[in-house]
Structure 1
Amino acid sequence: MTEHHHSTGEGATVSLVVGASSGIGRATAIALAARGDHVGLLARRVDALEDVARECRAAGAASAWVTSCDVDEDDEVAAAVAEGRGRHGRLDVVVHCAGIVTYGRVEEADAEDARRVVHTNLLGAMTVARHVVPVLREQRRGTLVLVGSLLGHVAVPGMTPYVVSKWGVRALARQLHIENIDLPDVHVVHVAPGSVDTEIYDEALDDAGAVNTPPPPVLPPESVARTIVRAIEQHRRSVQTSLVNQALIAAFTAVPWAWDRLVGPVFERVSHRSTETADREARRAG
């Protein structure tokens, strides 16, 4: 087994992945398993987690376990973190990937959908951090990864609750960094994927009456997982998953007038398909 654990004590790295049942979380769990980590898998859907646990063991995990955990429930997060630490006496890596999407302008978004998006994406990340950071500080070492989004750096039309939540996740990561700078071996990593081909688009809480697709260029979740693992190993603070992200952020920052008038409307067109278009495509495929 390859050794990746750099803190006190024997054994493989102990990693928790929050939101591990699908998408980026699933791919990250398998990538950490391939290093020989002990991998704890957290999500609401235990049945899906059991499948991921089998994949992790097949990939080479030192061990893999599943825990039902809703990031909206503070006590569930507290219990899951305590269980993860209790299994091997420490936590080395925690990756927070849980998130949901809703579409629609701010006045169109259903109040409950908007609340769920902000609560899950932002307050869920804060809840995870609130229970993980004290463990890392007590150990005086360890890494917390918050998976944000390119949309935590730029503004786009028709996704206000999601964009606000991801800007908040980026702010949270920055706050955690400055609050823990006194411990050089406690690391907070913010990873910002662009478009990723995951189930999050199929499961979107859509208030805009469209079928949603990730705007191009689209990365597979396995590519994002590799970026996350490299960021952990290199103790990076903030990472984009592609050069396209960097170019879009630069345009948003340098020429906001052009972004607002040109890039925003283009994004809206490429990230939505009308239900009529989707029906036509389904009939053509069928």
Structure 2
Amino acid sequence: MTADDLSSTAAQQEVVLVIGASSGIGRASAIEFATRGASLVLVSRSATTLADAAADCRTAGASAVECVPADVLDPDAVQAAVDRATSTFGRLDVVVHTATVMAYGRIEDVQPDVFERVVDTAIQGTFHVFRSALPVLRAQRRGHVVVVSSLLASITAPTMGAYVTAKWGQLGLIRTLQQELRDLPDVHVSAVAPGGTTTPIYEQAATVLGNTGHPPPPVYTPERVARAVVARIDDPRRLKQSGVANPIIIAGFRLFPPVFDVLVGPLLKTFGMARDSVAPTTGNVFAPVPEKEATRGSYFGF
């Protein structure tokens, strides 16, 4: 297919840039957009797994798929991904940003470089995505950005300080941008905040606890969260909680902090930690682990 053919196809279909597309919610979102016949540009650090995700998207019905291996902490690489979308398809309708990494450990035990990388991936990475995509959307005066946030952007939990800090900071950046775009009513920025989701992130996380984590119940599938992501195109929201228990947990955190603080640690240990035994590891914080990337993790979700 030539560049002219791709541009002609894109004129009839959504052009969607998915960042973090090789695994988990990002991969599920790419496949969900593919079922709508979208033209896709897929981005992640892992070129091999990205190619697998692209194959899934073609099977699901994508009009066209381009792959751009890139790390969100490299602003030039992020810009190149946006440029690939606009040069190949002529425009950019939707940006879905899901790239994130996670670490388990008490604040004084997590290595500084691991903490910084987890936080930087969420905050600086999101900043780089915004900086590259927004000039295109401003020029078009239309388009959507959907960022996958987390329940942990609204509450805190012991041994998850790096990820909590990352997601609180990311949500602050998102909310600020939403205010700054009030002059462009057809440019929308939405955040989707899942609770426990059966993705590989728990098995890929850095940990100094001697064990890995797993999604706390109720556990949802990445495909279910992906449907919430895609729904934001027709129904933009400042922050959409994707999980029936999320509002209840957030209410407990805000309204009854002494009770929440007593319960959160034991509940996390019981329902959010695996019973395995692993040596301290940096997981995929600094580099991808392709053999652990997939749409779903090893836990059941619905």
Question: TM-score if structure 1 supplies the norm length?
Answer: 0.91
Aligned to 1:99: 100
* Structure 2 residue 225 is the aligned partner of structure 1 residue 221: no
Q: Which amino acid aligns with 1:49?
A: L
After superposition, the C-alpha distances for 1:194-222 in whole angstroms (9 at most, x for unaligned) are 01111111110112221211111111100
Aligned to 1:75: 76
Q: Which ranges of structure 1 fall in alignment gaps of 5 or more residues?
A: 1-8, 278-286
Where 1:201 maps in the other structure, the secondary structure is helix
Where 2:192 maps in the other structure, the secondary structure is strand
Where 1:64 maps in the other structure, the secondary structure is strand
What's the Cα RMSD here?
1.6
Equivalences, count? 270
Question: TM-score if structure 2 supplies the norm length?
Answer: 0.86
Task: Give the C-alpha shift of residue 10 in structure 1.
Answer: 3.3
Aligned 8 A contact 1:202 1:212 in 2:
yes
* Structure 2 residue 145 is the aligned partner of structure 1 residue 144: yes
* Structure 2 residue 154 is the aligned partner of structure 1 residue 153: yes
After superposition, the C-alpha distances for 1:223-270 in whole angstroms (9 at most, x for unaligned) are 000111112221222111122011111111111111111133312332
Partners of 1:68 and 1:273 lie apart in 2 by: 31
Q: Which ranges of structure 2 fall in alignment gaps of 5 or more residues?
A: 1-9, 279-302
Structure 1 residue runs of 4+, over 6 Å off? Answer: none
Instruction: Pick which of 234-243 and 264-273 moved more.
Output: 264-273
Alignment of 1:266-277 (within 5 A): 266-276=267-277
Partners of 2:170 and 2:277 lie apart in 1 by: 35
Aligned 8 A contact 1:157 1:265 in 2:
no
Where 2:237 maps in the other structure, the secondary structure is coil
Partners of 1:102 and 1:269 lie apart in 2 by: 18
Aligned to 1:63: 64
Partners of 1:131 and 1:82 lie apart in 2 by: 9
Larger RCO, structure (CA 8 Å, separation 6 or more): 2
Aligned 8 A contact 2:35 2:62 in 1:
yes
Instruction: Pick which of 9-18 and 157-166 moved more.
Output: 9-18
Aligned to 1:22: 23
Aligned 8 A contact 2:17 2:41 in 1:
yes
Q: Which amino acid aligns with 2:209?
A: A
Task: Give the C-alpha shift of residue 274 in structure 1.
Answer: 4.6
Where 1:273 maps in the other structure, the secondary structure is coil
Partners of 2:29 and 2:96 lie apart in 1 by: 8
Aligned 8 A contact 1:20 1:26 in 2:
yes
Where 1:132 maps in the other structure, the secondary structure is helix
After superposition, the C-alpha distances for 1:81-125 in whole angstroms (9 at most, x for unaligned) are 111111111100000000111001110111111111011122111
Where 2:201 maps in the other structure, the secondary structure is coil
Q: Which amino acid aligns with 1:258?
A: V
Aligned to 1:182: 183
Aligned 8 A contact 1:19 1:96 in 2:
yes
Where 1:145 maps in the other structure, the secondary structure is strand
Aligned to 2:262: 261
Partners of 1:168 and 1:240 lie apart in 2 by: 17
Partners of 2:46 and 2:188 lie apart in 1 by: 29
Task: Give the C-alpha shift of residue 61 in structure 1.
Answer: 0.7
Q: Which amino acid aligns with 2:171?
A: R
* Structure 1 pair 86–273 and aligned structure 2 pair: CA distance change class (3 A): same
Partners of 1:233 and 1:87 lie apart in 2 by: 25
Aligned to 1:242: 243
